[in-house]
Amino acid sequence: MEVEASVLEHVGAAADRLQMSQPTLSRMLARLERRLGVELFDRHGKRLSLNDFGQVYYERARRAQAELDAAARELADLANPAHGVVRLSFLHSFGGRLVPELIAGFRRRSGAVTFTLSQDAAEVVTDRVLDGSADLGIVSPKPAATGLGWRELLRQRLALAVPADHRLAGRRQVRLAEVADAEFVAMRTGHGMRAILEDLCAAADFRPRIVLESSDLVTVGGLVAAGLGVALLPLGDVVRGAGAGAQSGPVLVPLADPGAARAVGLIWSASAAPSDAVRVFRDFAVGWAQRAG
């Protein structure tokens, strides 16, 4: 209202623009000046001109109105699944194919959606979803934390990664108990594959002797290929990426142990109300999993 009056410099014209009577607008301007404790206008009959105080107030009001307009547009975008934002957090190993495939498939249908991506260990991804800094997470295995929704997207068989000259390199499958005395290269604590390794080794009645740790499966594969130990890695595209960092990648021998697979799934906060964009992407990912299965 004050912006209109200052630009038009005529109370009657401003009142017409604002669809109110001239006396009502005059009273509103006088009330504003009393509240601020200064006069904003120099008055010349029915005409107004901004004084120094008015110029300062006008510039601030104009900027505030621009911010409010921008906020309104942002809220409208968030409420519209065709123009919303999805904050997706995931394990590093899913950045090679799974996440790009999901986003590409979704954006062919909802091209204006913006994705904010972050990568980290399973525990960190889970914490981000629970504290609201991420809308969705893709992790493995299923987190033990409460307050999460979960939907399995796929299951990956697991393999023992060994150097090319290892005694087990020519086997069609192997049990973890056969390498109970081996040196292991493992993901750091907090990563999903580390938890899976420890659980499978416990089921095989031994504790792995870990000599090297990494936060990246590519590095784990490269260390194994260099002859620095054995490791647990998933079969499939992630594993092909894991061997790509070395001149000759590790040999992957499928595990025969019961439960030697990792569930890859989508998580979200069970207590948070998702935006339309998040809900639509979540539904798309679930449908993708059903079609892939």
H-type helices in the chain, by residue range? Answer: 2-8, 11-18, 22-36, 52-79, 98-107, 122-131, 192-203, 217-225, 237-243, 276-292
pLDDT of amino acid 3? 43
CATH class of 156-262: alpha beta
In CATH, 85-152+263-292 is 3.40.190.10? yes
pLDDT of amino acid 160? 97
Domain with CATH 1.10.10.10 in the chain: 2-79
Pick from 8-22, 32-46, 136-150, 218-232: least confident: 8-22
pLDDT of amino acid 99? 94
pLDDT of amino acid 275? 85
pLDDT of amino acid 224? 96
Mean pLDDT across the stretch 45-62? Answer: 82
In CATH, 2-79 is 3.40.50.620? no
Give the model's confidence band at 4: pLDDT under 50 very low, under 70 low, under 90 confident, else very high. very low
How confident is the model over 216-263, as pLDDT tens digits? Answer: 888 999 999 999 999 999 986 544 433 334 446 899 999 999 999 999
**Residue-by-residue DSSP string for 275-287:** -HHHHHHHHHHHH
Q: How far apart are CA 143 and CA 190, in angstroms?
A: 11
How confident is the model over 73-123, as pLDDT tens digits? Answer: 556 555 555 568 899 999 988 988 899 999 999 988 776 788 999 999 889
Give 201's contacts (C-beta < 8 A, 6+ positions apart).
176, 180, 207, 208
pLDDT of amino acid 18? 65
pLDDT of amino acid 23? 80
Domain with CATH 3.40.190.10 in the chain: 85-152+263-292, 156-262
Check pLDDT > 60 for residue 126: yes
Pick from 67-76, 88-97, 119-128, 190-199: least confident: 67-76
% of the chain exceeding 70 in pLDDT:
83
pLDDT of amino acid 236? 67
Query: Coil, strand or helix: which one is 267?
Result: strand
Name the more confident of 266 and 29: 266
pLDDT of amino acid 284? 92
Mean pLDDT across the stretch 268-279? Answer: 89
CB contact at 8 A, 219 and 188? no
Q: Tell me how many helices (H) and strands (E) the chain has.
A: 10, 11
Check pLDDT > 90 for residue 290: no
Check pLDDT > 50 for residue 62: yes
How confident is the model over 135-172, as pLDDT tens digits? Answer: 999 999 899 899 999 999 999 999 999 999 999 999 99
